[in-house]
A and B are shown apart, each in its own frame.
Chain A
């Protein structure tokens, strides 16, 4: 088994490297675009909380539509290829980031906002100097959750020609080649775990020192 795996790995190394880099690119673009949409939208929603709850409820329902179905729905419009994959994955990356941005900012204690306004900060200053710094760890955690989802769902993107590690897994399935399946699955899992770890570290680093729980001496 092991030797078979190694020989498959050796003969397909070039293909694996290409698939891996495409996978990373697709996921990265999707999460970046998702963040660019979700963070501003989340901030806007905190300014009109009644709308915010509704929007998040609607998006939560949409999120439950299986990605397979979503790929199918979009195919007639965007055709086969990487753009379709990126569009769908971007849509899926939005919700976790949006929800965390919204709750992160909404959960900033009223007393901080009250003090900030009472001292004469404008709406934007309250947002940039108080609300966002305090909510940042929560927002980054949203990006982390999103990234892990997207890395795993990107494997499915192969059915619309998205490329990536999904290609290798599906070829393996088609040929009933277990070594090939593993060659796609293991790097995908490792990628998800590593990304989660790295972004977790970032979340910790952006937590203002005053907000980190002091360890009892």
Chain B
């Protein structure tokens, strides 16, 4: 689907890509990963000719893209960026129908497509079509960003760190959604990230880059079990510094950087905070940090239009499953998997909120088991 043949790129004297060859097959989820400055984003942007290679040929669908008009080429390829880039002057509907409009679809067909897409990710068209991007949470915005890229059903989708700015819970959800969309629609995705957990979770093939060259291109399992050299080992192992995998207690694998509010927090302020931090639900506690429940953003919106709300305490938070921080990690994972939860709130014996276990925690811990011994041999 996407083939790089001896691609080089330099900006002045600065060589960013060196003689890179690559073959991404149809229907693959390919993840480009590496430290900053390794050339992963440059490589991605060469696929839709936002950047032109200095040397070499890129084929998309067996066609040399240097012979295709760049504007026509880009309309055939979906493109999602980290900053989301929804046009603030357009409604959600107008944003999604940008490419269909460029391609001259009739109005009825565009309308229908927008509705179909929104429903595909569980967003009610009646509720969202006429909203503006600034009225949506970060997660919802990026969801729309993905839909916009899928509007004309392109066979190829380019994603440049699309979930980098989202909070962990929303990121998990969107990762699941994009993986499902990719499988359902049978599209090819080229995805840039610097997060190895994300790569392991999503990729069919991980392409690890360094200094403009490919260090290893392999399926995640192979990359983890059979890293090609010290750099790969170091790169996938770096994450081990953050989490101690050698354990099996919830407290040792949970994400403790979480965002909670107390019941006395102002309603408007909470909404502003949610927007600022890109979170989709509020974890509500009492003054001593004890868990009261969770309020999803939809509940806030529903209530906001109906009556005057001053503080969060006036709303009824939903009860959610929790787990003790000294419980076995395995127990947390079993609960998440069996009950299909996006996350599990970790509390201590006094029901105080201490952290969060997500699917990423699960991936990290499993990965630790896989390559733990390797790194310890050093």
- Which residues of A are interface residues toward B (Cβ below 8 A)? 109, 111-112, 114-122, 125, 129-130, 133-134, 208-211, 214, 216-217
A183 to chain B, nearest CB (A): 45
Interchain CB contact (< 8 A) of A111 among B71, B76, B83, B132: B83
Residues of B within 8 A of A118 (CB): 48, 50, 74, 79, 81, 158
> Mind listing 30 A-B residue pairs with CB under 8 Å?
A109-B83, A111-B82, A111-B83, A111-B84, A115-B84, A115-B86, A115-B87, A116-B85, A116-B87, A116-B98, A118-B50, A118-B79, A119-B75, A119-B98, A119-B102, A120-B74, A120-B102, A121-B71, A125-B102, A129-B98, A130-B89, A133-B89, A208-B132, A209-B132, A210-B90, A210-B91, A211-B134, A216-B272, A217-B267, A217-B304
Interface check B133, CB cutoff 8 A: yes
Q: A111-B81, A130-B87 are in contact. Are A214 and B74 (CB under 8 A)?
A: no
| Chain B 149-187 residues near chain A, CB threshold 8 A | 149, 158
Q: A114-B50, A119-B74 are in contact. Are A214 and B134 (CB under 8 A)?
A: yes
Do A216 and B85 touch (CB < 8 A)?
no
Interchain CB contact (< 8 A) of B271 among A109, A121, A211, A216: A216
Residues of A within 8 A of B148 (CB): 119
Separation of A134 and B132 alpha carbons in the complex (Å): 14
Separation of A214 and B184 alpha carbons in the complex (Å): 37
Do B81 and A120 touch (CB < 8 A)?
no
Interface centre among B76, B134, B148, by most chain A C-beta atoms within 10 angstroms, is B134
Interface check B99, CB cutoff 8 A: yes
Residues of A within 8 A of B158 (CB): 118
B side interface size, CB within 8 A? 36
B282 to chain A, nearest CB (A): 16
Do B134 and A210 touch (CB < 8 A)?
yes
Residues of A within 8 A of B48 (CB): 118
Given contacts A125-B102, A134-B89, A216-B268, 4 further A-B contacts (CB under 8 A): A115-B85, A117-B74, A118-B74, A208-B89
Interface centre among A114, A120, A208, A214, by most chain B C-beta atoms within 10 angstroms, is A120
Residues of B within 8 A of A214 (CB): 134-135
Residue in B closest to A132 when the chains form the complex, CB atoms: B89
Interface centre among B75, B87, B132, by most chain A C-beta atoms within 10 angstroms, is B87
Separation of A76 and B310 alpha carbons in the complex (Å): 70
Separation of A80 and B98 alpha carbons in the complex (Å): 54
Residues of B within 8 A of A115 (CB): 79, 81, 84-87
B297 to chain A, nearest CB (A): 14
A181 to chain B, nearest CB (A): 47
Do A217 and B89 touch (CB < 8 A)?
no
Residues of A within 8 A of B99 (CB): 119-120
A205 to chain B, nearest CB (A): 14
Q: A209-B132, A217-B268 are in contact. Are A117 and B89 (CB under 8 A)?
A: no
Do B71 and A120 touch (CB < 8 A)?
yes
Residue in B closest to A109 when the chains form the complex, CB atoms: B83
Residues of B within 8 A of A216 (CB): 268-269, 271-272
The contact string, 1 if C-beta is below 8 Å from chain A, for chain B 264-298, is 00011101100000000000000000000000000
Separation of A111 and B134 alpha carbons in the complex (Å): 15
Q: A112-B85, A211-B88, A216-B271 are in contact. Are A120 and B304 (CB under 8 A)?
A: no
Residues of A within 8 A of B79 (CB): 115, 118-119
Interface check B72, CB cutoff 8 A: yes
Q: A115-B81, A118-B48, A216-B268 are in contact. Are A210 and B88 (CB under 8 A)?
A: yes
Residue in A closest to B101 when the chains form the complex, CB atoms: A129
| Chain B 241-281 residues near chain A, CB threshold 8 A | 267-269, 271-272
Do B134 and A117 touch (CB < 8 A)?
no
Do A120 and B72 touch (CB < 8 A)?
yes
